[in-house]
Chain A
Amino acid sequence: MSLATEIDYGTPASRSTTTVTLTIDGVPVTVPAGTSVMRAAAEAGLMVPKLCATDNLEAFGSCRLCLVEIDGRKGYPASCTTPVEANMSVRTQTPKLAQLRRGVMELYISDHPLDCLTCSANGDCELQDTAGQVGLREVRYGYEGANHLVAEKDTSNPYFTFDASKCIVCSRCVRACEEVQGTFALTIDGRGFDSKVSPGQMESFMESECVSCGACVQACPTATLMDRSVIEHGTPDRSVITTCAYCGVGCSFEAELKGTQVVRMTPDKNGRANHGHSCVKGRFAWGYTTHPDRITKPMIRKHITDPWREVSWEEAIGYAASEFQRIQAKYGRGSVGAISSSRCTNEEVWLMQKLVRAAFGNNNIDTCARVCHSPTGFGLKATLGESAGTQDFDSVLLTDVVFVIGANPTDGHPVFASQMKRRLRDGAKLIIADPRTIDLVRTPHVEADYHLKLRPGTNVALINSLAHVIVTEGLVNESFVRERCEPESFNQWRAFVAKPEHSPEALEPVTGVPAAEIRAAARLYATGGNGAIYYGLGVTEHSQGSTMVIGIANLAMATGNIGREGVGVNPLRGQNNVQGSCDMGSFPHEYPGYRHVLDGPTRALFEGAWHVTLEAEPGLRIPNMFDAALEGSFKGLYLEGEDIAQSDPDTQHVTSALEAMECIVVQDLFLCETAKFAHVFLPGSSFLEKNGTFTNAERRISRVRKATPPVGGKEDWEVTAMLSNALGYPMTYTHPSEIMDEIARLTPTFTGVSYERLDELGSIQWPCNAAAPDGTPVMHVEEFVRGKGRFMITEYVPTDEKVNRKYPLILTTGRILSQYNVGAQTRRTANVDWHDEDRLEIHPHDAEERGVKEGDWVGVVSRAGETTLRARITDRVQPGVVYTTFHHPESGANVITTDNSDWATNCPEYKVTAVQVMPVFGNSEWQERHHAFTAQQLALLEQRERPVRQTAGK
């Protein structure tokens, strides 16, 4: 694929439905009302020179290159800031305009370095292009006048540089930071000729509030803000459109390359999840794909105390297959299983579950969604009829009341957060339910109307009290409920939540949220126009995670906030393919498309298609696998892209289970924590090295396209197919598109999906079938997928994880912007410059009581284990609550978390752990063991036997 060049229309498209016809350079042009003259001209193929205008930013009118002449108007209006009018007659090229444009360009160049040939933007510079366009031939001012050529270069950011000497002060970076990202980190300092771009108050980029999203770099028309990778490698010569491998927003990117060298990841303007925006992870943190830690050869070993041995793919696969067969022969068909990851493509997950079902002959397949969003699947299926979010991301632009529950969008889903913040700046109201003061509570030009700062573990009490207000204050949308929901279940629910014990006043002592705030927030959500709920793992990762999801669905149905744009129930998925890995049937009880394995006709469908007899009994969930391993009945495990030894709760329980197994096959990019317990290591391929699809939080299926060859030689789907073949169940796909064709054949919500259609449409939101050939942005429009919406009773049951004298604090966990989950990727990038260790946030009061000072090492002890972290004293957390991130394995955040889990889905209760915190010197016992074990395993990797090379001697 050649380098994509996109037309920049200069100003955003108008959303108006009325059209206006005008004449530009004699050409009649019809465009929506509100379109700029510049955009109208561009749509007619008439490009007006411009520098400060770009079509993802509002018009600014500063560069004065886009001047035009309009009949009946005096002067030379800027085409970017002039809206079209009916019958307007515009000229974009006249001798006078040419003279003015050259005059302006001459001024620009009189204060610009003339090092085009050695400039990093050479060939990719709008200033250079425009100078050519306007025909500038000389700069009569000379170059001796006042200038900025000696302005200092800011090299503080690890990913891009800011060379002020090349700045033309178009403010595109400043505007991008404001309008696109919503961080407002940049401004123009000084005025007149001294105007200069300033991060913060004349700070460096790294010292400022800059979040390194790249919007400014993307917006810069010159080499002023430039990717270091381009400075190092030069401009790219081809690009491949693909999908980011980080969070559930699923941003579309152009991987820009020279040969097989990735030079830059540029957010794709046509990406319908991100509209050309990005965050520090997707845009910049891809260096892990070529990190020296990548393991590129298959390896095997008999015992985990043995050194690794590099072997051929055939030998590794053969060994793994023979071990699984041996184990099944010895311990039974159910003694092996697999865990897929939400980082795998849909096609890979499909093959994993197919391998388990068809080749292993059991249902022991689970996915990491078990530990994040399994309650979403359960709760939304039970109430609405489909295990997925109800909206597309763009829906937020029509939302009047944004209700964020247990999610931290600016850190976890930054690109969507920017879109949300844009809507909030435009006037939507904001309610946040979170124990911690997340950034969104107060960020530039956005402030929560209500921050319901509840105690961790009391979500269901909170949602019941909100529901109580809606039911008892007459705020129910009666007509919606009457037409769309089950009357019986609604009446039961209404009677239930109306009980006095669910009033905000009665529950205030439980949730810690003042009753008046609950009442006000409930009224706002119910009556403030379009109300949309966005939630994250702060909802699901609880002992009542499923109950809370149901409670959210109840609330949305009762207020009629579902079934159209601007409303809905929107789970923010943590990983790129959480939705997809669930859709693909990576569950021990469900086939693809959320169909139970006990369902005879579905089983028959798959048996027919796969030519095997399938096991009817549900298999083991991840925690059951660990328990079974410790009991001795589960002995073999195949993991792809999933690092359970770091990410699953109660680490010591997990690692004991791993040690109890006889064959662990890990397919991964790195020797991750789990791989240190493995017997077979199969080199994984990064998202840049393979074909497939990811499905994001809005059910959007997007293509992952191979940009570079897999460093281990195989794409991940090929490896799974090889293993299946070696196990005796043939998989003969030649390309993932064939896997998608099989998915489409066997999954009703995917019938219309194919790689051809994806190429055609860019991306597709399922359901995509005969009824919705282009996909479905908003679900449940006419009726719920299950027919009538079903209300369910949500009794609040306090968690068993209670504070007491020994464990007086509640630990809750979360993510940070610069790091991603277990950090395997982001820790191997310069993102560590922002976050090189996990810290324990503790309230000043709790710190004072314990004699803890900022930066002190503290021991964190729970009923499950103990670790040490350094303290950060902050009132972001409330007294009695401590918080940490979990991106670094040595932090041992999951050594502390317990095996408590959601009653319905076993999703772990990561968000509530009773702990004690005390100052300590030195590491915890677990950390000492972990260090020793890691050192041992790295040594075993270092000592790996490599096949003797044939030396071509003389």
Chain B
Amino acid sequence: MTRVYVPRDSGAKSMGADAVAARIAAEARRLGASVELVRNGSRGLYWLEPMVEVETPAGRMAYGPIATDDVASLFAAKFLVGGSHAKALGLTEEIDYLKRQERLTCARVGVIDPVSLDAYETYGGYRGLRRALELDGAGIVEIVTQSGLRGRGGAAFPTGIKWKTVLGATGTQKYIVCNADEGDSGTFSDRMIMEGDPFVLIEGMTIAGIAVGATKGYIYLRSEYPDAFVVLNEAIAVAVGRGYLGANVLGSGKAFDLDVRLGAGAYICGEETALLESLEGKRGIVRYKPPLPAISGLFGKPTVINNVISLASVPIILDRGADFYKNYGMGRSRGTLPIQLAGNLKHGGLVEKAFGVTLRELLYDYGGGSITGRPIRAVQVGGPLGAYLPESQFDTPLDYEAFIALNAMVGHGGIVAFDDTVDMAKMARYAMEFCAIESCGKCTPCRIGSTRGVEVVDRIVADEDRMANIALLRDLCDTMLGGSLCALGGMAPYPVLSALNHFPEDFGLPAVSLAAAGAP
């Protein structure tokens, strides 16, 4: 019996993985070959998807990208024993893109059958929870604090401190909420975890619950992730069946239940307070803070609300210790970040690296440069509200503080690359348009400002009273930055201003004059 892996990850499926899997099964039947087909997550080498792996005594051998028409030739090339083939990639672990990563959080993604609890445990799963159960809440929180883990959703708030607040809050009911409303452009690491290794998220949430005394968790999942919904629910059912979730987690006497709730297609519900409103069954609009969700969150109760990656990073921290994790990274950015390469890049995919890797390394050493072969002119980091960085800033290391210094942000680690054909005025307009479409409408700067922003950029591009409108755009950005209730309106100016400051020529201005005029 030979084990063959074909990903069930939706990225791979969109490239035809299901058909390839079906064809492999049919071909094996036809040939009488003894094949165990495992539907794993994706390794995150998307340009190679569907990537088929075969377990051989030498290790897992990869082939990709595989089309259904390749299947017969794979069998003919004896791929079941690692035979050579035009699409053979060699040992998976030796693929350079993968080999040079530091996969801590995503260690099992693409490796195991996502809903196999046995596989999860074989690869080190649930060791973190077992360790956690030996500690008291404060002990767990201390390890998470020591690890230096910061919120991976974008705000980079120290996870341990958040947990400590919830631990110290009084309340008969507390909640753990996972923000799985991954809506930033060019991001997919949450989805890959949920589709490829859901138990690590379940384990992370369980540890969080044990740590702060919360007995109920919710995963707020964007409705655009139907595959993740299926996988998570399968995994939760398995965990409940095996006593990892429920009234008595691993016989510890501690309870933790978990539910998955679907969003309704609003980007703003990725903002934590709007998410809580939505989770409560209300219209997803932003709440003001304070009170912090840690004090008064879901249904007014103390609530840990963390991003998928933050929670999924907790098991390995508990398992291997704070120092192990903390030893990765630079400055105040500790550990690793699953970076997502997207846009105009040859090798789009998931790159989990310790903080400190530079943009240039990511774009060229991993991304392989632009797919069009043209120079990369700008990258947007951290989703639609992140700043555009010009080539001159490509040597910036991925580090929260280094990016803040540039009025940019690491955010959720999504990197979208553009070649030199990009019109940055269009991108500025798009930033405002995105804000206008996704604004919840509660606060005035975002509700009206984003719509006016689109109009003002249009007038600049059309050369209607250009200088006055550029001044107005800057004033508007100031109003939105200083006046908005949440980060949507408060950060939408970053892509706009960075486009204007770094690429003034796209706004009909001389390239130098504006930069010389003192723009940052």
Contact = CB atoms under 8 A, between A and B. Distances in A.
Nearest to B266: A191
Nearest to B440: A191
Contacts of A169: 441, 447
Contacts of A61: 288, 443, 485
A96 B482 contact: yes
A62 B484 CA distance: 9
B172 to A, nearest CB: 13
Contact of A104 (B266, B290, B445, B472): B445
B256 to A, nearest CB: 26
Interface in A242-279: none
Contact of A81 (B283, B288, B476): B288
A538 B484 CA distance: 53
Interface stretch (A138-146, A219-227, A355-363, A540-548): A138-146
Interface string A180-199: 00000001101111110000
A108 B448 contact: yes
Contact of B448 (A83, A99, A110, A190): A110
B2 interface: no
B397 to A, nearest CB: 24
B437 interface: yes
A194 B444 contact: no
Contacts of A63: 443-444
Given A83-B290, A108-B444, A141-B456, A191 B485 contact: no
Contact of B451 (A65, A99, A145, A168): A145
Given A103-B475, A140-B472, A193 B283 contact: no
B452 A145 contact: yes
A187 B283 contact: yes
A211 interface: no
Contacts of B479: 100, 103-104, 106-107
A64 B484 contact: yes
A146 B455 contact: yes
Given A83-B290, A191-B266, A100 B482 contact: yes
B279 to A, nearest CB: 17
A74 to B, nearest CB: 10
A926 to B, nearest CB: 52
Given A62-B485, A64-B483, A111 B448 contact: yes
A61 B443 CA distance: 7
A365 interface: no
Contacts of A733: none
A78 interface: yes
A67 interface: yes
A59 interface: yes
Interface string A70-102: 000001101001110000000000001001100
A111 to B, nearest CB: 6
B439 interface: yes
Contacts of B468: 140
B354 interface: no
Interface of A is mostly: loop
B439 A193 contact: yes
Contacts of B444: 62-65, 104, 107-108, 168
A179 B13 CA distance: 49
Contacts of B443: 61-64
B450 interface: yes
Contact of B441 (A64, A96, A107, A192): A192
B442 interface: yes
Contact of A192 (B440, B476, B478, B482): B440
Contacts of A192: 436-441, 446-447, 450-451
A221 to B, nearest CB: 13
A99 B477 CA distance: 12
Contacts of A168: 444
A104 B489 CA distance: 13
Contact of A191 (B439, B448, B452): B439
B268 interface: yes
A501 B318 CA distance: 65
A110 B436 contact: no
A671 B283 CA distance: 52
B343 interface: no
B41 interface: no
B449 interface: yes
B400 to A, nearest CB: 16
Interface in B409-459: 436-452, 455-456
Question: Chain A CB within 10 Å — which of B266, B440, B441 has the most?
Answer: B441
Interface in A53-67: 59-65, 67
B483 A100 contact: yes
Nearest to A81: B288
Contact of A78 (B266, B288, B439, B476): B288
Contacts of A67: 482-483
Interface in A680-718: none
A188 B441 contact: yes
B273 to A, nearest CB: 11
Question: Chain A CB within 10 Å — which of B289, B443, B472 has the most?
Answer: B443
Contact of A141 (B283, B289, B450, B455): B455
A214 to B, nearest CB: 24
A75 B448 contact: no
Nearest to A64: B483
A174 to B, nearest CB: 10
A192 B433 CA distance: 11
Interface string A134-176: 0000001100011000000000000000000000110100000
A195 B289 CA distance: 22
Given A81-B288, A99-B478, A141-B452, A64 B438 contact: no
Nearest to B289: A81
B482 A75 contact: yes
B451 A64 contact: no
Interface string B267-293: 010000000000000010100111000
A141 B478 CA distance: 15
A187 B277 CA distance: 14
A111 B455 CA distance: 13
Contacts of B283: 187-188
A191 B274 CA distance: 13
Contacts of B484: 64
A39 to B, nearest CB: 15
A59 B288 contact: yes
Nearest to A82: B290
Contacts of B452: 107, 110, 141, 145
Contacts of A59: 288
A769 B338 CA distance: 76
A191 B475 contact: no
Contacts of A171: 442
Nearest to A171: B442
Given A67-B482, A107-B444, A191-B268, A145 B455 contact: yes
A76 B441 contact: no
Contacts of B450: 192-193
A82 B439 CA distance: 23
Contacts of A140: 468, 472, 475
Interface of A: 59-65, 67, 75-76, 78, 81-83, 96, 99-100, 103-104, 106-108, 110-111, 140-141, 145-146, 168-169, 171, 187-188, 190-195
Given A81-B290, A107-B479, A191-B441, 12 more contacts: A64-B445, A78-B288, A104-B444, A107-B444, A107-B445, A111-B448, A141-B452, A145-B452, A188-B441, A192-B446, A193-B447, A195-B442
Interface of B: 266, 268, 283, 285, 288-290, 436-452, 455-456, 468, 472, 475-476, 478-479, 482-485
Nearest 9 A/B pairs, CB to CB: A103-B479, A195-B441, A61-B288, A192-B439, A81-B288, A107-B448, A64-B483, A193-B451, A145-B455
18 contacts: A64-B444, A64-B445, A64-B484, A65-B444, A81-B288, A83-B290, A99-B478, A104-B479, A107-B445, A107-B448, A107-B452, A110-B448, A145-B455, A169-B447, A187-B283, A192-B441, A193-B441, A193-B450
